[in-house]
Amino acid sequence: MKQELADFLNMDLQFIRGVGPVLAARFNDVLGGRRVLDFLLHIPSSVRNRGITECVMTSTHGDTITIPLLVKSHKQGGTFGRGRRRPTQITCADKSGTPVVIQFFNSSYLDYWLNKLPIGTWRIVSGKIEIVAGRATINHPDFIEEMQNAEKIPLNQAIYPSGEGLTQKTFANVRDQIFVALPEKLNGVDDQTREFFDALRHVHFPESNDDLAPGSTYIAKLAYWELLAHQSAIVLSRRKRDDVKNRRSVRPKKYDLISKMRAVLPFELTGAQNRTINEIFADMSGDTPMMRLVQGDVGSGKTIVALAAAVKMAESGAQTTLLAPTDTLAMQHFAKLKPMCDKIGIVCDVLTGRDKGNARKEKLISLRSGRTKLVVGTHALFSNDVEYRDLGLVIVDEQHRFGVSQREALRAKGNNPDLLALSATPIPRTLSMTIYGDMDISVINEKPAGRLPIKTTKLPMARVGDLVSHIRPQIESGAKVFWVCPLVEESVESDMTAVQTRFESLKAVFKNVGLVHGQMDKKTRDAVMQQFADDKSGMNILVATTVIEVGIDVPQATIIVIENAERFGLAALHQLRGRVGRGSSQSYCVLIYGDNISSDGLKRLNVLCETDDGFIIAEQDLMMRGVGELLGTKQSGWIQYHFVDYREHRDLFRLASSAARNDNVGPWTHDLMNIFDCGVNVGA
Ligand code: ADP
Ligand code: MG
């Protein structure tokens, strides 16, 4: 890419006039980055028309209107009651003489507003109109302009998905400056680059909502390029890997550990586990590094499969690292693996952010010396001082939580080590090739023998009382219950009271109830979870926000209650449900929904009541996408695209995939991969 253009795209937004470091930080929260490029990839979600309305009575309550008004009188708000302020009211009239009152509740900029609206003048005012009992009001108008400046009000205003402290005017200002500066940066670029930025300009200046629909010409073009970037990255990474010759030939088998492992397992492996392990072993004796994804529903027994791979590695003396997304999960893996490793005779260790000082140093020395054969850990494993004698295998648990670049950062600590990714998120068959095209896939589609399907029902919030009396006897006879209350980011406080209230009300009935949420410090949280997992503690109910998430293993838990289940996406609900049904007794899942559940929300709950099959759920999830942001989408394992719509652009997936395979990856494709930050090291 032309240097001047690249520099511009990488420029920090704080250098744009009217932005500065504070706003740039806010942009970072919304855009996930603070460069001009991040802004360009964040497109409006709708268009608000601000064409002129002459008479207020032709509009409807709730409309956004733009209307010429004659200012009649000012009435300054005062204080009344307990220090609450009366709104300042400016009474105006439209062309027909119908009164329209403009109100300001916030007094900080009062003089400014009053100056903008002098008595006896005509002004163009734009904002949301409220008509109650024939009285028209506009609260805090979006625009107030003198008549001759009417064109300052955008006829079709692009509305950007925003966050705290960022107004639509700020978005428009940044956009305008970027697109004023851009043409100069595009001097002398090739046609494709020009076409790309031209498409971006069209979607940042939409004329109607149709321009922003997935089917519109420019969105579809951008979606195709985005897919092409990702597909090309996959193809490249695959080609790169096929070029690597394996070093296994220099690593002969020294010990016989696999048969030892089979002897110490406390259960028979399922057919699917055996098949997957065989596929892994075949990869490991092949002549290019393994890159395998194991997909299996929660509870299908992926941990043992991972252990088998690590043990196989240890047979030649090489080391394995297992990356887990949270401390809790890492500790849990370690607790499970350590006793088995002890029996097999390989050294297993754990490394998390909690390890400090000398203890940590010793762990690192043991890794460096090659003595530790399996290390389980979290982000702490990325640290520069973590070195291996011979890292042969990288295992990534719940791999969708980590980007390709992170998994590659770990692999870089060895000499082209094998990669094994574990995922509890099934990807619909139609998509797995295009999303995980650089990996081979094994599916564990069989649960350990004796597992009963989880019985799932849905229940309106009003019947929670019935539910409590219903599960009471079960709890008294020892059943363990997860009780999940969701948190929505915008209103953490009110949600916290919801969790707290539920906790108090359950405690009134059941006495020994645990509570965990994200605001607690990790130590306390882990201690409570430990207590819940412990049979002797008498704690049978754990009220939790989604911090219990993926992977927590309490096999004795047989009931999960999920409040406001309608707020979660299908995949997230399926994951949560997987917290139960891990033992041989019958388990139950109760989905509680609020009054204002949408028909899509209801559909999702019905899917869960009907099926337990992760693949069917994933397929349904895909078909129902586009119903707005759902809780837990990040956990659901889908790549978050800027322009691609999973439902509407399915044909583009196929097109881009075949184009990428036939392309010899020229400069334009490289540019695209950089633009869309595909996370694959595409260098030479
Ligand atoms: P996940 O696939 O969700 O990571 P785990 O590996 O944590 O599942 O296994 C879930 C539970 O099932 C664990 O308690 C594990 O010990 C047990 N398990 C795994 N494989 C078998 C098997 N073949 N037979 C019986 N129990 C098994
Ligand atoms: Mg697991």
Every domain of the chain and the residues it spans: 3-48+166-210, 51-153, 243-444, 455-611
* Residue ID of nearest Cα to ligand 1 atom 25: 448
The identity of residue 214, as a single letter, is: P
Minimum mean pLDDT among 221-230, 617-626, 659-668: which range? 617-626
Q: Which fold has domain 455-611?
A: Rossmann fold (3.40.50)
Distance 611 CA to ligand 1 centre (A): 21
**Mutation to probe ligand 1, out of 582, 585, 587, 612 (largest number of atoms < 8 A from CB):** 582
Minimum mean pLDDT among 74-78, 83-87, 101-105, 366-370: which range? 83-87
Q: Render the burial of 511-523: b for 16+ CB within 10 Å, e for the rest.
A: eebbbbbeeeeee
- What whole-number distance in Å separates Cα of residue 19 and Cα of residue 185? 21
Q: How much of the chain exceeds pLDDT 90, in percent?
A: 55
Distance 548 CA to ligand 1 centre (A): 18
Beta-strand relationship, 79-80 and 319-323: unpaired
**What pLDDT is attached to residue 244?**
74
**What pLDDT is attached to residue 145?**
95
* Residue ID of nearest Cα to ligand 1 atom 20: 301
Token couple for 528: 């409570």
CB-defined site of ligand 1, < 6 Å? 267-270, 273, 296, 298-304, 424, 448, 553, 555, 582
Positive or negative, the CA dihedral 327, 330, 335, 336 is positive
Per-residue pLDDT band for 102 (boundaries 50, 70, 90) equals very high
Ligand 1 atom nearest to 305, measured from its CA: 6
**Mutation to probe ligand 1, out of 273, 303, 574 (largest number of atoms < 8 A from CB):** 303
What are residue 105's phi and psi, to 5 degrees? -95, -30
Per-residue pLDDT band for 337 (boundaries 50, 70, 90) equals very high
**Mutation to probe ligand 1, out of 553, 577, 612 (largest number of atoms < 8 A from CB):** 553
Indicate which ligand has the atom closest to the C-alpha of 265: 1
H or E element, residue 337: helix 327-344
pTM as predicted: 0.64
Looking at the predicted structure, is the pLDDT value of residue 489 above 90? Answer: no
Average pLDDT over residues 129-143: 93
Torsion of CA 193, 199, 200, 203, to 10 degrees: 180
Instruction: Work out the end-to-end distance of the chain between its first and last CA atoms, rounded to an integer number of angstroms.
Output: 16
The CATH superfamily holding the domain 243-444 is P-loop containing nucleotide triphosphate hydrolases (3.40.50.300)
Average pLDDT over residues 640-665: 82
Ligand 1 atom nearest to 582, measured from its CA: 11
Nearest to 157 by CA among 167, 172, 146: 172
Ligand 1 atom nearest to 269, measured from its CA: 23
Per-residue pLDDT band for 633 (boundaries 50, 70, 90) equals very low
Average pLDDT over residues 136-150: 94
Of 270 and 584, which is predicted with more confidence? 270
**What pLDDT is attached to residue 630?**
40
The CATH superfamily holding the domain 51-153 is Nucleic acid-binding proteins (2.40.50.140)
Strands (E) across 390-497 are located at: 391-397, 418-423, 440-444, 455-460, 480-484
Minimum mean pLDDT among 46-50, 181-185, 385-389, 438-442: which range? 438-442
Ligand 1 atom nearest to 555, measured from its CA: 14
H or E element, residue 66: strand 64-75
Indicate which ligand has the atom closest to the C-alpha of 450: 1
- What whole-number distance in Å separates Cα of residue 134 and Cα of residue 57? 9
What are residue 453's phi and psi, to 5 degrees? -60, 145
How many of the other CB atoms lie within 10 Å of CB of 122?
13
- What whole-number distance in Å separates Cα of residue 543 and Cα of residue 561? 9
Ligand 1 atom nearest to 267, measured from its CA: 24
pLDDT digits (tens, 9 = 90+) for 384-399: 999 999 999 999 987 6
Per-residue pLDDT band for 637 (boundaries 50, 70, 90) equals very low
Count of alpha carbons within 13 Å of 389, Cβ hemisphere only? 15
Distance 579 CA to ligand 1 centre (A): 12
Looking at the predicted structure, is the pLDDT value of residue 550 above 50? Answer: no
H or E element, residue 351: strand 347-351
The identity of residue 475, as a single letter, is: I
- What whole-number distance in Å separates Cα of residue 548 and Cα of residue 588? 17
